[in-house]
Amino acid sequence: LQAFRDSLSLCEAIYFDILVERLGSQLEHFNPNQFITMYLVDAMDGFQFEAFLVEIFRTIGYDVKETKKTADQGADLFVNRFGKNMVIQAKNYS
């Protein structure tokens, strides 16, 4: 029973060290200029919002094709990942 407790304590210590290391890494790479709030999103015009969505979808691994900015029949972005296609109609009204 004591060996189990010792092993459990060791696992907890290792897990805690990993969490601390990950947090440190995230803090080192934190860029406050990339921190987006709803206030910033609400302040975007339609074209800025579309560009914002392109950046988000590309960041999370989607292939993104943008349509022309006007007369696009409502489709603003075509995104694809793992063979799944989606059409996105972006709306950001004030």
Token match 């972006």: residue? 90
- Averaged pLDDT for residues 23-33: 71
Q: Cα separation of 78 and 66, whole Å?
A: 6
Amino acid at 48: Q
Is the CB of residue 49 less than 8 Å from the CB of residue 90? yes
Is the pTM above the cut of 0.85?
no
The SS3 of residue 73 is: coil
Mean per-residue pLDDT of the chain = 82
pLDDT, tens only, 69-94: 666 567 888 898 888 888 888 887 76
Which residue in 59, 57, 51, 62 sits closest to 92, CA to CA? 51
